[in-house]
């Protein structure tokens, strides 16, 4: 009887604690996700304001996947588009699509962001246009998950610097180039990072670190812009949003069929644009926000183990496929 009474007292103490923990770490964040996606996107989204802030959007890495979807949907919203990528043929294809479907002006800039000498020419070609939105989307990843050093097929050392040039330098240089032109009237800078930039990702170490750079750079610039705007004067608020997608059905992810957790580029970008001004650091879509919430509930050692095992298995499958092809 005494033991039963003690157990009962413990239950009275523990149950409220458990309920509080569950509510604090799961229920409230879950409600917050749905509130932002379903309510605040209707009230606070700055997507429809972009056209009033300037006639043009600049999109890097705009010929495939997420970048092409940004170009397409911003054109659909009535913005003229500057496409920047390295393939003339693909740029011409996207430009024709945008002109034919949305009757907007389109400019093309051929540039390889792995080279550091492209920015002066880009700046000259962008002179004289009112840019309302910059989308820093260009990026390169690993051909397959692998060790940085050691192992059967480690990352080629020659891939490192071009990857950092494309994934890191392009974001900083393009933002530095166009942000001063937005500050007098407002605008938006959208930096596309990756879910792998939110946590260490074994077997994608350099790529993951480069995307973590984008996250930290964007958050820092956003704080600087808010500080400038708070002082008044001629500086307007510029929205700096970081988008950190998980899997999207693109060539880069090698996912061919879209699903709830791996949406099509257009579906993903449509949600991400609606979250402009609502979420500064955004997973981009509802399914990825839910996915990240569930992942964040796991202890760090567990999530790291699962991620490491998953990436290692992916590497093994890729190596086997390479062996068969050879």
Cα 297 to the center of its chain, rounded Å? 22
- Is the distance from CB of 204 to CB of 196 less than 8 angstroms? yes
Say if strands 238-243 and 56-60 run parallel, antiparallel, or are unpaired: unpaired
Can you give 13-51 as a three-state secondary structure string?
Answer: HHHHHHHHHHHHHHHHHHHHHHHHHHHHHHHCCCHHHHH
Is residue 94 helix, strand or coil?
helix
Spatial distance between the Cα atoms of 211 and 231, rounded to a whole number of angstroms: 31
Spatial distance between the Cα atoms of 50 and 135, rounded to a whole number of angstroms: 13
Spatial distance between the Cα atoms of 124 and 111, rounded to a whole number of angstroms: 13
Q: Is 52 left (phi over 0), alpha (psi -120 to 50) or beta?
A: alpha
207, 213, 292, 312: the catalytic one is 207
The verdict on whether 207 is a catalytic residue reads yes
Which residues share a beta bridge with 189?
Answer: 134, 240
Q: CB-hemisphere CA count at 13 Å for 259? A: 7
H-type helices in 103-241, by residue range?
Answer: 119-125, 160-164, 170-182, 205-230
Among candidates 136, 232, 238, 130, which has minimal Cα distance to 187? 238
Spatial distance between the Cα atoms of 87 and 64, rounded to a whole number of angstroms: 11
Looking at the annotation, which residues are catalytic? 207
């Amino acid at each position: 009887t005494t033991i039963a009474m003690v157990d009962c007292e413990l239950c009275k103490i523990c149950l409220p604690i458990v309920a509080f923990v569950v509510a604090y770490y799961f229920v409230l964040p879950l409600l917050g996700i749905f509130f932002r996606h379903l309510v605040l996107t209707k009230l606070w989204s700055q997507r429809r304001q972009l056209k009033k802030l300037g006639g043009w959007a600049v999109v890097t890495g705009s010929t495939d996947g997420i970048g092409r979807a940004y170009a397409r949907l911003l054109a659909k919203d009535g913005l003229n588009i500057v496409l920047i990528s390295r393939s003339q043929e693909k740029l011409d294809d996207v430009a024709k699509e945008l002109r034919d479907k949305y009757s907007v002006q389109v400019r093309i800039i051929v540039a390889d962001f792995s080279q550091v000498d492209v920015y002066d020419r880009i700046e000259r070609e962008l002179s004289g246009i009112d840019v309302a939105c910059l989308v820093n989307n260009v990026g390169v990843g690993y051909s397959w998950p692998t060790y940085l050093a050691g192992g059967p097929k480690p990352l080629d050392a020659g891939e490192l610097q071009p990857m950092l040039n494309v994934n890191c330098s392009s974001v900083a240089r393009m933002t530095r180039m166009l942000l001063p032109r937005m500050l007098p009237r407002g605008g938006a800078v959208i930096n596309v990072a990756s879910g792998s930039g939110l946590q260490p990702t074994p077997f994608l170490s350099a790529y993951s670190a480069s995307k973590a750079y984008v996250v930290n750079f964007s958050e820092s610039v956003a704080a600087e812009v808010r500080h400038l705007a708070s002082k008044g004067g001629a500086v307007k608020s510029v929205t700096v949003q970081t988008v950190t997608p998980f899997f999207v059905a693109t060539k880069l992810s090698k996912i061919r069929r879209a699903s709830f957790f791996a949406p099509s580029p257009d579906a993903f970008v449509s949600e991400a644009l609606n979250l402009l001004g609502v979420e500064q650091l955004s997973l981009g879509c509802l399914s990825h926000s839910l996915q990240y919430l569930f992942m964040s509930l796991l202890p760090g050692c567990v999530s790291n183990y699962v991620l490491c095992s998953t990436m290692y298995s992916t590497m093994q499958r890729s190596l086997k496929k390479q062996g068969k092809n050879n």
